[in-house]
Amino acid sequence: MLFKFTKFRAILIVVMLFLIIIYPPMGNSMSQTTKQGGRVIRIALDNTIPPYSYIGENGELKGFNIDLLNTLEKHTNLTFKYVPTTWEAAISMFKNGEVDALMATVYTEERNKTFSFTKIYQYLYFNFFQRANMPILSNIDDIENHTLAVIKDDITEVLALQWMNRTHKKVYLVYVETPEEALELVNSNSVDFFLYEIHTASYIIAKLSLKNVKLTNVEIFSLPLAIAVKKDMPWLVDVLNNAIDEIKNSGEYTSIYNKWFNPSTHPVIPWYFYYALAAFLIAVGGIGIIGFKYKKSEERVKEQRRRITNLVALSQTLMEKMPIGILYVRDDHCLYANPEALNILQYDFDELNKNKIFKNLLADGDEVSVKTKEGRTKWLYVKSIDYKGGRIISIIDITKRKILESVEKERFEYLNNMLDALRNPMQNILLASENIESKEMQKIIKKEVDKIIEILREEPE
């Protein structure tokens, strides 16, 4: 009896050891062990540029650069220690060797002599912001004889001065200390324009609720961003470049970018809509979706979930960037419209629902006309499919083609009318020539008339 109990206990111990090997405790994962032994990299960054990197209301360091670095860290055997400060202090610390890297640095040939740089991971775009109650700015020349807010010694001040020297046009510069001050001057109608980086300025506008400030489509220049690294650490550049490639290929970079720079401004779209759109886009491309076969293996299930997540992220990115307008309409309400659809229809998302512009797109026929806010007629090529009680609608602007067709039709009708008008007089001339006694004159008249008839018979180009 004692032997049986001892044997049972031994078997139980073996089974428990087997389970521990297969299912190790969550707190002792390999990745955590690796991180504890990873090299610490000190990274300086500017904490005064929302939404890139700034101090939140609760004192926490947050922003696009922070989420990006946190994600990069997961793809390396390194531990990042952030040194938040002003830009002047950060670059001084980097030059003095107090930190290993400098986040969000603009690449220049001069700096490349002193620092090493990773791949470019982001661009800064500088556009004009204007008073919402003035005519929309269409190009940089329209700022002539207007007031422009600039920050002293900022790159935008240098550009404004260079533009005035080059074009000999006058702009009245109003100097300010901060972008917040400049945008508040625009909002109060004290200044007409402000040139600044679009994401930081847009963040300030939303935070301060500046209703009279509008972003224009006039982009003046852009600057590439990379991570600057000490010259004696080329291995770190390689590690960071590999991590940048990995997060861009996995879709993690797109998720971070959309979180900070493309927040949703419309009602939440049902999760199944993205799955349907993913299937629609892949079918259009001729790619079949292979159904996943679920197995009991935990690793297999995790891999399938990761693929689905990446597919949804890819579909959302394609939908936002594709050159075809896409709308999703259900229950007499537009739940989604991608940027190209809003650009084609010339309405923002709220105006689209308020004026029910999308109802015209549900009419019978492939070609539909709509009115813009300015009263101009636009012709659209429309296709739609039913899904979950709503409709996914695709639109393409064919206004130019319709205008050309109309012009060609009018031209053709004009030529036909002209031919009809000339035909009878020419026949009368021929009949009259037969009554002329001079045979030589008859031949000349007939010859010239034949020339005219031949010209009229030619196909109009």
**What is the structure's pLDDT at 424?**
67
The enclosing H or E element of 134 equals none
**What is the structure's pLDDT at 238?**
95
Q: Specify the pTM.
A: 0.50
**What is the structure's pLDDT at 239?**
95
**What is the structure's pLDDT at 33?**
33
**What is the structure's pLDDT at 183?**
95
**What is the structure's pLDDT at 204?**
93
Rounded Cα gap, residues 160 and 143, in angstroms? 10
The enclosing H or E element of 365 equals none
Q: Which residue has the tokens 């949703």?
A: 264
Which top CATH class is 123-224? alpha beta
- Coil, strand, or helix at residue 157? helix
Q: What are the residue boundaries of the structural domains of the chain, listed by start?
A: 1-33, 34-121+226-261, 123-224, 271-397, 405-457
Which top CATH class is 34-121+226-261? alpha beta
CATH of the structural domain 271-397, one choice from 3.30.450.20, 3.40.800.10, 3.40.640.10, 3.40.50.300: 3.30.450.20
**What is the structure's pLDDT at 321?**
72
Q: Are 123-224 and 271-397 the same fold in CATH?
A: no
For 246-271, give one letter per residue: b (16+ CB within 10 A) or e.
Answer: bbeebbbbbbbbeebeeeeeeeeeee
User: Which residue numbers in the chain have pLDDT < 70?
Assistant: 1-37, 263-277, 283-298, 301, 311-316, 318-319, 364-365, 420-428, 430-437, 455-461
**Crossing angle of helices 198-208 and 179-187, rounded to 10°:** 60
